[in-house]
Copies of this chain bind each other. A is one copy, B any other.
């Protein structure tokens, strides 16, 4: 049987992720302790806990978020053609999310679901060290139905990008499995970000199975997620355990830069120097944006890492996980 004749992709990246509005406020370390929060991590919360945490939060600001959506916002700002799939409710936060992603130039066609549960919200406490502690109320986001996927659209993107956070709720997980199949059938690449250690603790077996089956072409992890997935405490052992199984492996190490391994090549970049870390929300998301932009433009591995580092540096220098500076200008000539 001959290879199927593939159309040239019309989209660079299509992503499936949580459709979340971030509710962000500064907080002291003492607040984090008093409220019993897991500093630096992401915790899923129910409506009651979300209400209690919001009541305890100082004056906040609302900025569209969601891990994969943040990555697309970065990619679109860099000049990539993107589409997003995610579930909002028919409420004001849903309108905010849809407005912000569309006005960033990203296709977003998933219809709102109804008023209850409301659009997902992530209550983010930002401590003076710039660390963010996230508490996510998934709301409508967890009900993204597999039926919301258009396999033709999935097949039209060079890369399908999936967010590990969304592996937790059942319906979106089914949707993502369907999307992986559609992308692979069309000869496209599947990129996956592990998102958080808690996701790996619940779904590590799924992820390892996907990797063993060769379903993941580009894997994004930070060093903690790498250790959790591979069971290797040593960073280089962790990389070695995955390097042969994933065509492109990208591992971020915060202020220690990032590594990538692809086709036997190992590249590393230091973190970009910045004046002050204001808020680390979205650092990994924007790193992925820069890397993927380089990838879809066929840039060498080290340059992809460099683009990731520049985008991550921009996002942690201000509040919120959506870019403020002109990313295309920032990376010009890099």
Contacts and interface: CB of A to CB of B under 8 A. Distances in A.
B92 A58 contact: no
A274 to B, nearest CB: 17
Interface in A21-41: 25-26
Q: Quickly give the copy total for this chain.
A: 2
B61 A99 contact: no
A170 B118 CA distance: 34
B59 A61 contact: no
A67 interface: no
Nearest to A95: B54
B96 A58 contact: no
Contact of A61 (B55, B62, B104): B62
A218 to B, nearest CB: 26
Interface in A70-124: 73, 91-93, 96, 99-101, 103-104, 118
A73 B92 contact: no
Q: How large is the interface on A (under 10, 10 to 19, 20 to 34, 35 or more residues)?
A: 20 to 34
A63 B61 contact: yes
Contacts of A60: 96, 99-100, 103
Contacts of A284: none
Contact of A57 (B25, B103, B320): B103
A118 B104 contact: no
Contact of A59 (B55, B58, B59, B322): B322
Contact of A93 (B63, B64, B92, B100): B92
A91 B100 CA distance: 19
Contact of A103 (B59, B96, B99, B322): B59
A58 B104 contact: yes
Contacts of A64: 59
Interface in A295-321: 320
Contacts of A62: 61-63, 96
Nearest to A56: B103
Contacts of A104: 58-59
A65 to B, nearest CB: 11
A2 to B, nearest CB: 45
A316 to B, nearest CB: 16
Contacts of A101: 59
A65 B57 CA distance: 17
A328 B104 CA distance: 38
Contact of A54 (B58, B59, B63, B99): B99
A73 B61 CA distance: 14
A63 B63 CA distance: 9
* A-B residue pairs, 7 tightest by C-beta: A62-B62, A92-B92, A59-B100, A61-B63, A59-B104, A58-B103, A59-B103
10 contacts: A26-B324, A55-B103, A58-B104, A59-B99, A59-B100, A62-B62, A62-B63, A62-B96, A91-B92, A92-B93
